[in-house]
A and B are shown apart, each in its own frame.
Chain A
């Protein structure tokens, strides 16, 4: 796989849209069809936030949600404070390009002691006949003892090629809790980078779950700083790739103080000539005693040409720690296969059942029931070869059954 620097060279081949499209009632056309999820939509079109009433919504409990550009004008101090995670990490070339070029993004601010019940759902829509570059920046800031769930859907459509380079900075103050779900359903010719920079204060909890169903090339690049005691990060990921798709998960967790926990579980199934990378790096700094850090990467390769590069990596400078790392690349459990077959299940179906079980473990860690059910169903059908997209998504429900964006701005 190429380096970030090489990908940066490709940015110039795409068009960055410097102005938002004229307002279209995207929210009227686009609603997430996953039943009972009750999420609040935060739609982005070609890299710009879209909303009918205002660019920024301020809720009675003090929650602010909407366009980052608008927040920069209205709440410059809050925005400044939310940028800290970006400053604390060494930034790669793509993140730096985002710094220079970002158009808009989502700003989510939750004040102290506010527990947001409905999840916010960031949906990045791309509708362009040209090869489009989207440079989005999202800032998520949780006050002390605040709670929030965010779902990020990255879907693409069949028109031009797209290059999405998304940088998200997350600040979790003392005892804040954030669940962050990502589903990635990309067209074969798309590139998607999700860079996540997270700073965690004392006793905060961060849960990330990234599920890649399809990829041209997808990279989840996660950096977590555990800066104060008793902070905990749980990172899960699943990648189901086939054909010539590529998916990378690059994770760096820094234990910068004592008594923190981090947990990583990444699983993948690679078919055809697909290729995936797991690069998990945990650093335990010298004074980070009583660290608990666990890392697991499990893979199933279905063909000789499919490829996994796995590199679980612990860098430990403290002595009183519990750390483990492991990677497996293998086949399915023969005993389980035998058991299923003795009940009359053919070998092919038995393999499918076990593959589903393998993959579905990651879905089981989703805390929103409606989303969990939906993701399980998608995993099941993805493995059956029936699904290439979230088919309940209006984006993909054109009459011809193709992956055609139903909102054609020229017709509105």
Chain B
């Protein structure tokens, strides 16, 4: 589904990603871990299509298409979803209006008829349950005045609405208390199926107790330096990142 080959990315001339290789198949959950400032969020932003990120080498192939050829919105319409670490507040845009516009533009891109008001409301009520949202969303502005937990729940709610094939959740666990973490993780697990894939970017093992990955990668110094089964996350939790750094330095020397 996603194939990243030797990806080099610079921001304002400074190289952040220095040759990332990653392959994700349908039905898989991948975790990308690593210390701060090693390029985890950059990877998410490049896949999303954010401006200001220059791909100097390598490529990202998604469903056989070169991702760099697609606009931000077309990537989303092709099924890519980014769960943001810091979702922006958009005062004055109601969540309902936002989701209805998004859903119908995606449907139009795929040659489907738009949902009418009743169909949309039904769908919204159904998907609210995924993240245990009980309140009315029609009057609330996107993320405005939301707590950290509400913002993340709202991200997963949007994911449920848009039914992406590839979701990248960037530090979704940051700022969450244990209850919110459980709700968010449950939401992600409910949405998982054989045809979609999820990449979870996180600092800590904690989230991976709830969302169990098939593969764990460690991103360090702009590269994926280690890949392993889910037990790798536990080892990182126990031993920290220092041993990874040492291994990496030694590998560099040799």
Q: Which residues of A does B touch, CB under 8 Å?
A: 333, 335-336, 338-347, 349-350, 353-354, 356-358, 360-361, 364
With A344-B102, A358-B92, A364-B92 given, can you name 10 additional A-B contacts, CB distance below 8 Å?
A333-B88, A335-B88, A336-B88, A338-B51, A339-B84, A341-B71, A342-B73, A344-B103, A344-B105, A353-B93
Q: Residue B93 contacts which of A341, A344, A346, A356 (CB distance < 8 angstroms)?
A: A356
Q: How far is the CB of A214 from chain B (nearest CB, A)?
A: 22
> How many inter-chain contacts with C-beta < 8 Å in the A-B complex?
76
Contact partners of A340 in chain B: CB under 8 A: 90, 93, 98, 102
Q: A338-B50, A339-B84, A353-B98 are in contact. Are A345 and B90 (CB under 8 A)?
A: no
Residues from 147 to 204 in B contacting A, C-beta threshold 8 Å:
158, 162
Knowing A354-B90, A357-B90, say if A346 contacts B73 (CB, 8 Å). yes
At the interface, yes or no: B7 with Cβ under 8 Å from chain A?
no
Q: A335-B88, A344-B106 are in contact. Are A354 and B93 (CB under 8 A)?
A: yes
B146 within 8 A of A: no
* Sampled A-B contacts (22; CB under 8 Å): A333-B88, A335-B88, A338-B72, A339-B142, A340-B98, A343-B81, A344-B77, A344-B103, A344-B105, A344-B106, A346-B105, A349-B101, A349-B105, A353-B97, A353-B98, A354-B90, A356-B92, A356-B93, A357-B90, A357-B92, A360-B92, A361-B91
Complex: A333 Cα to B82 Cα, angstroms: 19
Chain B 63-92 per-residue mask, 1 if CB under 8 angstroms from chain A, else 0:
000000001110111000110100110111
Is residue B33 contacting chain A, with contact meaning CB distance below 8 A?
no
Main secondary structure of the interface of A (DSSP, over half): helix
Chain A hits for B76, CB < 8 A: 341-344
Q: How far is the CB of A261 from chain B (nearest CB, A)?
A: 23
Chain A: CB-nearest residue to B99:
A343
Asked if B48 lies at the interface with its beta carbon under 8 angstroms from chain A, I say yes
Could you tell me the distance between the alpha carbons of A353 and B106 in the complex, rounded to whole angstroms? 16
Taken together as a complex, chains A and B put the C-alpha atoms of A406 and B106 apart, in Å, by 43
Q: Least Cβ distance of B161 to chain A in Å? A: 9
Please tell me which one of the listed residues B82, B92, B99, B103 contacts residue A342 in the complex, with CB atoms under 8 A apart. Answer: B82
* B95-111 near A? 1/0 per residue, CB < 8 Å: 00111011101100100
Contact A341 B92 (CB under 8 A): no
Q: In the complex, which residue of chain B has the Cβ closest to the Cβ of A363? A: B92
CB <8 Å contact, A345 and B48: no
Chain A: CB-nearest residue to B77: A344
What residue of chain A has the Cβ atom nearest to residue B161's Cβ? A343
What is the distance, in angstroms, from A348's C-beta to the closest C-beta of chain B?
Answer: 10
Report the minimum CB–CB distance from B218 to chain A (whole Å). 26
In Å, the complex CA distance between A343 and B155 comes to 10
* Option from B51, B84, B91 in Cβ contact (under 8 Å) with A357: B91
Q: In the assembled complex, which residues on chain B have CB atoms less than 8 Å from the CB atom of A347? A: 71, 73
CA distance A356 to B162 in the complex (A): 23
Once the chains are docked, how many angstroms separate the CA of A346 from the CA of B99? 13
Known: A342-B48, A344-B102, A349-B101. A336 touches B90 (CB 8 A): yes
A343 partner residues in chain B, CB cutoff 8 A: 76, 81, 98-99, 102, 158, 162
**Choice from A336, A344, A361 contacting B73 with Cβ under 8 Å:** A344
- The docked-state distance in angstroms from the alpha carbon of A350 to that of B98 is 9
Chain B, Cβ-Cβ closest to A360: B92
Chain B residues with CB under 8 Å of A358's CB are: 92
Are B92 and A361 closer than 8 Å at their CB atoms?
Answer: yes
B104: min CB distance to chain A, Å = 9
In the complex the two chains form, is A339's CB within 8 Å of B90's CB?
A: yes
Asked if B87 and A353 make an inter-chain contact with CB atoms under 8 angstroms apart, the answer reads: no
Q: Which residues of A contact B97 (CB under 8 A)?
A: 353
Chain A min CB distance to B250 (Å): 39
* B84, A353: Cβ atoms closer than 8 Å: no
B86, closest chain A residue (CB): A335
A345 contacts across to B, CB distance below 8 A? 73, 98, 101-102, 105
Q: Which residues of A contact B75 (CB under 8 A)?
A: 342
In the docked arrangement, what's the CA distance between A345 and B161, Å? 14
Assembly CA distance A333 to B51 (angstroms): 14
Q: For residue B84, which residues in chain A have a CB less than 8 angstroms away from its CB?
A: 339
Chain A residue nearest to B80 (CB atoms) is A342
CB nearest to B107 among chain A residues: A344
Contacting A at CB under 8 A, from B101-129, are 101-103, 105-106, 109
- Distance (whole angstroms) from the CB of B170 to the closest CB of chain A: 11
Nearest A residue to B78 via CB reads: A344
Closest to A341 in B: B72
Which residues of B lie under 8 Å from residue A353 when comparing CB positions?
Answer: 93, 97-98, 101
Closest to A338 in B: B50
Distance in Å: Cβ of A17 to nearest Cβ of chain B: 43
Distance, CA A335 to CA B90, complexed state (A)? 10
A367 to chain B, nearest CB (A): 16
A337-B105 Cα distance, complex, nearest whole Å: 15
Interface centre among A336, A339, A344, A358, by most chain B C-beta atoms within 10 angstroms, is: A344
Closest Cβ of chain A: how far from B247's Cβ, in Å? 35
Determine the chain A residues whose CB is within 8 A of the CB of B142 once the complex forms: 339
* Cβ of A146 to closest chain B Cβ, rounded Å: 31
A380 nearest CB neighbor, chain B only? B97
Q: Which of A336, A341, A342, A353 has the largest number of chain B CB atoms within 10 A?
A: A342
Q: Could you tell me if B73 and A357 are in contact, using CB atoms closer than 8 angstroms?
A: no
Residues of chain B with a CB closer than 8 A to A336's CB: 88, 90
Of residues 17 through 32 on chain B, the ones whose CB sits less than 8 Å from some CB of chain A are none
Choose from A341, A344, A346 the contact partner of B162 (Cβ within 8 Å). A344
| Complex: A354 Cα to B97 Cα, angstroms | 11
0/1 interface trace, chain B 36-54, chain A, CB 8 Å (1 if under): 0000000000001111000
Q: Which of A357, A358, A361 has the most CB of B within 10 A?
A: A357
Closest Cβ–Cβ distance, residue B24 to chain A (whole Å): 18
A23 to chain B, nearest CB (A): 45
Distance of A90 Cα from B103 Cα, bound (Å): 56
Q: Which 9 A-B pairs have the closest CB atoms?
A: A357-B92, A344-B76, A341-B72, A343-B102, A344-B106, A357-B93, A341-B73, A344-B77, A339-B88
Residues of A within 8 A of B90 (CB): 333, 336, 339-340, 354, 357
B101 smallest CB distance to A (angstroms): 5
